[in-house]
Structure 1
Amino acid sequence: MKTLQKIMNFSSGMVNEKLLERQDSDILATGCSLLKNLMCSPFGSVYTRNGMKKLAEVTTEITGDAYRLVPFIFSNTQVYLFLFTNELLRIFFNDQLISSLNIDYTSSQIAVLKYAQEENMIVFTHPDVPPKMIVRKETSGQITFEYNDFVIKEIPRYSFDKVVIPNETVASFKFTLGDKAEGHISITVNEPAGFQFQETDIGGYIDSPVDQGAGRARITSITTGSNTASAETIITASAETIIPFYEASKQYSGTLERNYEPSWSAARGWPVSCAFFNQRLWFGGSKSRPASIWASRVGQYDNFENTANYENDAIDITIASNTVDSISDLFVNRGIQIFTDGGEWVIPEGAVSAQNIYIQKQTPNGIYKNIMPVNINGATIFIERNGVALMNFLYTNEQSAFSTESMSAVFGDFKNPVAMAADINPGADSGNIIYIVQAGGKMICADFLPTRNTSAFSIFETRGKYKDALSVASETYFIVEDSGRFFLEKETKGMRSDLTEAINLTTPDQTFTMSDHYDMDRLTLYTDQKELKRGTPEAPADYLVDGHTVTMTLPPDGFAPATLYYGYPFDFEMQSTKISIEQYSENVFKRIARAVITCNNTRRLYFCDLKRESAAPDDISSPPKNIYEYWGVTNPAKDLRYSFEGNSIYPVEILSAVMNITYGGA
Structure 2
Amino acid sequence: MSAVTLIKTGFTAGELDPRLVGRSDLDALAKGAALLENVVVQVTGGVTRRPGMRRSTDVPGGMRLVPFDGADGGAVLAFGPFKVDVIIGDAVAATPNTPAAANWSSLQVPQLSFARLGESLLICHPDLEPRQLVRLASGGWQLRKWSFAIPQGAPAPFPYREPFARFAADEVALQPVKTGLAADQPIPRDSLVTLSASAPVFTALHAGTRLRIKGRQVTVQSVQSTTEAIGLVLEALNDGQTTRDWDEQAFSQAHGYPITVGFWQDRLVVGGSRDLPDAIWMSRTGRYFDFDEGTGLDDEAFRFRLGTERNHAIRALVSGRQLQVFTSVGEWALSGDPLTPATIRADQQTGIGSPVARSLPPVEVDGATLFVSRSGKELREFLFTDDQQAFQAADLAVLARHLLADPVDMAFDPIRRLVLLVRADGSMAAATIDRENGIVAWSRLTTNGLVRAVTHLDGRTWLLVSRNGTVSLEYLDDALGVDGALTFTATTPRTVWAGLERFNDRQVWLIGDGRPMGRTVVTDGSVVLPQPVGTFVVGLAFTHVIEPVRALPLPNRVQDARYRVVRLSFRLLTTLALRLDLGSGPVAQALPAVPGGFTGDHAVRVLGWRRGIETTPWRIAQDEPSPFTLLSVSHQLQVID
TM-score band (shorter)? 0.7 to 0.9
Task: Name the amino acid aligned to 1:422.
Answer: F
Partner of 2:374: 385
Once residues 604 and 222 of structure 1 are traced to their aligned partners in structure 2, the CA distance between those partners, rounded to angstroms, is 73
Q: Is the contact between residue 392 and residue 404 of structure 1 (CA under 8 Å) also seen in structure 2?
A: yes
> Does the 8 Å CA contact 2:12/2:43 hold for their aligned counterparts?
yes
What's the CA shift for 1:509? 4.5
| Cα distance between partner residues in 2 of 1:309 and 1:277 | 18
SS of the residue aligned with 2:430? Answer: strand
3-state SS of 1:289 partner:
coil
- In the alignment, does 2:273 pair up with 1:286? yes
State the partner residue of 1:184. none
Q: CA deviation at 1:270?
A: 0.3
1:264-295 per-position Cα deviation (integer Å, ceiling 9, x unaligned): 11010001000022221110111111100001
CA contact (8 A) 2:47 2:629 kept: yes
d(CA) in 2 for partners of 1:27, 1:236: 71
1:35 alignment counterpart: 36
Give 2:365's match in structure 1, choosing from 370, 376, 382: 376
Cα separation, 1, equivalents of 2:464 and 2:37: 19
Residue 611 (structure 1) aligned with residue 611 (structure 2): no
CA 1:633–1:82 in structure 2 vs 1: closer, same or farther (change >3 Å)?
Answer: farther
Aligned to 2:180: none
In the aligned structure 2, how far is the partner of 1:627 from the partner of 1:611? Answer: 16
For residue 95 of structure 1, what is the aligned residue in structure 2? 90
Stretch deviating more after TM superposition (637-646 or 400-409): 637-646
The residue that corresponds to 1:251 in the other structure is: none
Q: For residues 20 and 71 of structure 1, what CA distance do their matches in structure 2 show? A: 40
Which aligned runs of 4 or more in structure 1 are off by greater than 6 angstroms? 196-201
Shift of 1:80: 1.1
Deviation at 1:200, TM superposition (A): 9.0
Report what 2:153 is aligned to.
none
**Conservation of the 8 A alpha-carbon contact between 1:603 and 1:614:** yes
2:480 paired with 1:495:
yes
Deviation at 1:474, TM superposition (A): 2.3
Query: Aligned in 2, Cα 1:517/1:593: closer, same or farther, shift over 3 Å?
Result: same
Gap runs ≥5 in structure 2: 149-159, 176-182, 186-191, 198-211, 219-234
Rounded to whole Å, the distance in 2 between the matches of 1:91 and 1:412 is 36
Partner of 1:210: none
- Within 2, Cα distance between the matches of 1:351 and 1:85? 40
Q: Which residue matches 1:137?
A: 136
**Cα RMSD between the aligned structures?**
2.8
Q: Is the 8 A contact 2:272 2:280 kept in 1?
A: yes
Cα distance in 1 between the residues matched to 2:323 and 2:513: 47
1:484 aligns with 2:469: yes
Task: Tell me how far 1:327 sits from its aligned partner.
Answer: 0.6
Q: Which residue of 1 aligns with 2:409?
A: 419
1:51 aligns with 2:38: no
Residue of structure 2 aligned with 1:529, choices 514, 525, 529: 514
| Alpha-carbon distance in 2 for matches of 1:133, 1:6 | 59
Q: Name 1:627's counterpart in structure 2.
A: 601
Match of 2:205 in 1: none
Contact 1:21 1:585 in 2 (8 A): no
In 2: Cα distance, 1:96 partner to 1:463 partner: 23
Identify the match of residue 338 of structure 1 among 305, 322, 325: 325
Choose 7-16 or 257-266, whichever is displaced more.
Answer: 257-266
| Partner amino acid, structure 2, of 1:47 | T
1: CA distance, partners of 2:246 / 2:424? 45
Say yes or no: does 1:221 pair with 2:221: no
Report the equivalent of 1:213.
Answer: none
Question: Is the Cα–Cα contact under 8 Å of residues 162 and 258 in structure 1 kept in the other structure?
Answer: no
Shift of residue 507 of structure 1?
A: 5.2
Contact 2:46/2:631 (<8 A) preserved: yes
- SS at the partner of 2:215? strand
Is this contact kept in 2: 1:603–1:613, CA < 8 A? Answer: no
Q: 1:648 to 1:583 in 2, by over 3 A?
A: farther
| SS of match in other structure, 2:43 | coil
Question: For residue 119 of structure 1, what is the amino acid of its counterpart?
Answer: G
- Report the Cα distance in structure 1 between the residues aligned to 2:393 and 2:596, rounded to whole angstroms: 49
Contact 2:65–2:77 (CA<8 Å) still a contact in 1? yes
Secondary structure (helix, strand or coil) at the match of 1:467 reads strand
Corresponding residue pairs, total = 573
Alignment-mate amino acid for residue 614 of structure 1: L
TM-score after normalising by structure 2:
0.84
Q: Tell me if 1:365 matches 2:365.
A: no
Structure 1 position 149 matched with structure 2 position 148 = no
| Residues 116-158 of structure 1, C-alpha deviations (whole Å, 9 max, x = no match) | 112212111110111110111223xxx1111100122322222
Aligned to 2:636: 660
C-alpha distance in 2, partners of 1:318/1:198? 32
The 5-angstrom pairing of residues 431-442 of structure 1 reads: 432-442=417-427
| Structure-1 residue corresponding to 2:627 | 651
Q: Deviations over 1:176-212 (max 9, x none)?
A: xxxxxxxxxxxx959xxxxx998799xxxxxxxxxxx
* Alpha-carbon distance between aligned partners in 2 of 1:625 and 1:88, rounded to the nearest angstrom: 50
CA separation of 1:379 and 1:631: change in aligned 2, threshold 3 A = same
Could you tell me how far 1:494 is from its partner in structure 2?
1.6
Using the TM superposition, give the Cα deviation of residue 663 of structure 1 relative to its aligned residue in structure 2, in angstroms.
1.3
Quick one: which amino acid aligns to residue 426 of structure 2? G
CA distance in 2, matches of 1:622, 1:304: 61
Q: Aligned pair 1:125/2:114, yes or no?
A: no
Q: CA deviation at 1:259?
A: 4.3
Matches of residues 3-402 of structure 1 in structure 2 within 5 Å?
3-8=3-8, 9-60=10-61, 67-75=63-71, 77-102=72-97, 103-139=102-138, 143-152=139-148, 153-164=160-171, 219-221=214-216, 237=237, 256-348=243-335, 350-369=337-356, 370-402=359-391
Shift of 1:508: 5.5
Secondary structure of the corresponding residue to residue 28 of structure 1: helix
Cα separation, 1, equivalents of 2:348 and 2:196:
34
The aligned counterpart of 2:460 is: 475
CA contact (8 A) 1:393 1:404 kept: yes
Partner of 1:542 in structure 2? 519
Query: C-alpha displacement at 1:79, in angstroms?
Result: 1.7
Confirm or deny: 8 A CA contact 2:378 2:401 kept in the other structure: no
CA distance in 2, matches of 1:73, 1:287: 30
Three-state SS of the structure 1 residue aligned to 2:566 is strand
**Displacement of 1:39:** 0.7
CA contact (8 A) 1:17 1:412 kept: no
Aligned residue type for 1:550: V
Question: Separation in 2 of the partners of 1:393 and 1:189?
Answer: 56
Shift in Å at residue 623 of structure 1?
A: 5.0
Percent identity over the alignment is 22
Moved more, 505-514 or 122-131: 505-514
Does structure 1 retain, via aligned residues, the 8 Å contact 2:39–2:544? Answer: yes
CA distance 1:222–1:110, shift in 2 (3 Å): closer
Tell me how far apart the structure 2 counterparts of residues 524 and 197 of structure 1 sit (CA, whole Å).
74
| CA deviation vs aligned residue, 1:359-380 (integer Å, no higher than 9, x gap) | 1110000012311101011100
Separation in 2 of the partners of 1:199 and 1:454?
Answer: 63
Unaligned runs of at least 5 residues, structure 1: 61-65, 171-187, 191-195, 202-216, 224-234, 240-253, 533-540
Q: Partners in 1 of 2:624 and 2:265 — Cα distance?
A: 48
CA contact (8 A) 2:501 2:526 kept: no
User: Which structure has the larger Rg?
Assistant: 1
Report the TM-score, using the length of structure 1 for normalisation. 0.81
Counterpart of 2:537? 565
Q: 1:486 to 1:41 in 2, by over 3 A?
A: same
